[in-house]
Amino acid sequence: MERLKLVEKTEFEPDTSLDEEPKPHLLEDFKAVVRSLTGDALKVMNRIAAKEMSKPEPNAELVEEYYLLFHYLDYVKRFASGKV
């Protein structure tokens, strides 16, 4: 049977190199992604609306839902931009 060995207690200095690096701004990164995605979604919405509005008789319910969705996406984009 092997005996336990006593070792000296050593103290470790904390690693401060992590504290010196700038910390990521996760919220700002998230907001930038949201702004980008909502901007792209609004562009797609506008293309869809242009096709529907160019019809002789556009679907009234679809037009109404387009404006609601446009409003929601625009609000999210402005909120993420800090303009609300």
Query: What is the rounded distance in angstroms from the CA atom of residue 21 to the CA atom of residue 18?
Result: 6
Alpha-carbon torsion, ordered 27, 28, 34, 38, to 10 deg: 150
Share of the chain above pLDDT 70, in %: 86
Query: What is the rounded distance in angstroms from the CA atom of residue 62 to the CA atom of residue 58?
Result: 8
Place of tokens 């506008």: 46
Q: According to the model, what pLDDT value does residue 3 have?
A: 78
Q: According to the model, what pLDDT value does residue 6 have?
A: 72
Q: According to the model, what pLDDT value does residue 42 have?
A: 93
* Average pLDDT in the chain: 85
Q: According to the model, what pLDDT value does residue 21 have?
A: 60
- Does pLDDT of 72 surpass 70? yes
Structure tokens that stand for 45 in this block? 């919405």
Element (H, E) at 66: helix 60-81
- The average pLDDT across 58-79 equals 92
pLDDT tens per residue, range 23-51: 678 888 999 999 999 999 999 999 988 99
